[in-house]
Amino acid sequence: MYGKSQFFLGNITNAGLIFKELYGKFSGFTDAGFWQARVLFNSGEMEASEKLLKKLLSFQPDNPEILYQLALISLEKNRIPDALSFLKKASLFGDRFALVYFQLGRLYHQLGLTQKSAEELSKAEVLLTKKSPLYNSVKSIKKRFPQGINKGE
């Protein structure tokens, strides 16, 4: 818990030390490994983060957070097909994981696949409260859709 609080307070170095030690002592503790991968990602160490996440994925192939983080890395590296694959897999396992649907919808929108984008964004919208920062982003993207697109409303 302390490592996560350090991470969210922006103390990435401290968080990294905590998670590295935890994961080093308890390599089966995938939560510590996941957070270590997030620290590596935020520190710009994409290769190390990706390697660790793929190792963790071999233990938990249905973990939507690991799949989502791998999608973010793929997006950073402009590997769009990989990002789509990871996001699609994450959406199968993360019914309550609105970020997955949001990113998938956003990516489909960027690729010009408006109907698919609308479908994914509608799934995210259902899961979000109106107070969520993502809610307005979903609405903003959906407003750009041409007439005749089923916006899931």
Please write the tens of the pLDDT for every residue from 10-59. 767 777 777 777 777 766 667 888 889 999 999 999 999 999 999 999 99
In this prediction, residue 153 carries a pLDDT of: 47
Residue written as token pair 């409260």: 129
The angle, 0 to 180 degrees and rounded to 10, between the axes of the packed helices 80-93 and 64-76 is 160
- The pTM score is 0.68
**Phi-psi map region of 13: left, alpha, beta (phi>0 left; psi -120 to 50 alpha):** alpha
Share of the chain above pLDDT 90, in %: 33
What stretch of H or E contains 36? helix 30-42
How many whole angstroms separate alpha carbon 11 and alpha carbon 13? Answer: 6
Top-ranked range on mean pLDDT: pick from 77-86, 95-104, 128-137, 139-148: 77-86
Q: Which of 8-12, 74-78, 129-133 has the highest mean pLDDT?
A: 74-78
| Cα–Cα distance measured from residue 75 to residue 68, given in angstroms and rounded to the nearest whole number | 11
Asked if 100 and 91 touch (Cβ cutoff 8 Å), the reply is: yes
**Rounded Cα distance, 39 and 138, in Å:** 27
